[in-house]
Amino acid sequence: MKKEIYEEARRKALSFYQKAHIVLTPKEEAGLEVADFGLNELESTGLELVVYVNTDRCCAKEMVLFPRQTCPEHRHAPVPEIQYEGKEETFRCRYGTVYLYVEGEPVQNPACRPPEGSEAYYTVWHEIVLKEGEQYTMYPNTRHWFQAGDEGAVISEFSTKSYDEYDIFTDPRIKRLPSVED
């Protein structure tokens, strides 16, 4: 992603943390990650996040989704070679509305649509709507994706150890770790 897009997304994400009354330290602000998943369509597919802690036992993150921005479908599968059972995670909505889609009975009329051109890579349609103060827990290896409502969203994630580099995305074009160029 271009550096100017990255920097603008960082500024915008910081304003969302302010809306949610989440105070970040200067070090946390400096470490804010902008993920476009290698698709270069950040407005529709992306995620902005700060990792507070990621130890052998737990992880805590704050995530921002811009209005109607989508984190693509993925799962946190076991990785036997590092003795990892997969990530169990709880999402708690701090600002806005989050539409979370997981495995289970599909909803008749989903509130969200996948980003245009990527529809084939969204396969789970059991809808969970999280409003401010509501939360939901997903167990390891659960396929899921999520999208913000019209006002955007801030989500706290509490989980077991996070190994983002091992996330398995339904879309083979996805690159989890961002690349920023001048």
DSSP state string for 74-100: EE---BGGGTB----EEEEEEEEEEEE
Express as a percent the part of the chain with pLDDT over 70. Answer: 99
Write b or e for each residue in 59-97: b if 16 or more Cβ atoms lie within 10 A of its Cβ, otherwise e.
Answer: bebbbbbbebbbbbbbbbbeeeeeebebbbbebbbbbbb
pLDDT of residue 182 exceeding 90: no
pLDDT of residue 143 exceeding 90: yes
DSSP codes of every residue in 5-57: HHHHHHHHHHHHHHHTT----HHHHHT-EEE-TTSS-TTTB-EEEEEEEE-SS
What are 2's two structure tokens? 């271009």
**Any idea which residue has 């996330």 for tokens?**
167
Higher pLDDT, 180 or 114: 114
Mean pLDDT, residues 35-60 taken together: 96
pLDDT of residue 178 exceeding 90: no
Tell me which residue of 53, 146, 136 sits closest to 91, measured CA to CA.
136
Tell me which residue of 164, 158, 163, 167 sits closest to 58, measured CA to CA.
158
Q: Where are the domains of the chain?
A: 3-169
pLDDT of residue 179 exceeding 90: no
CATH 2.60.120.10 is right for the domain spanning 3-169: yes
Express as a percent the part of the chain with pLDDT over 90. Answer: 93
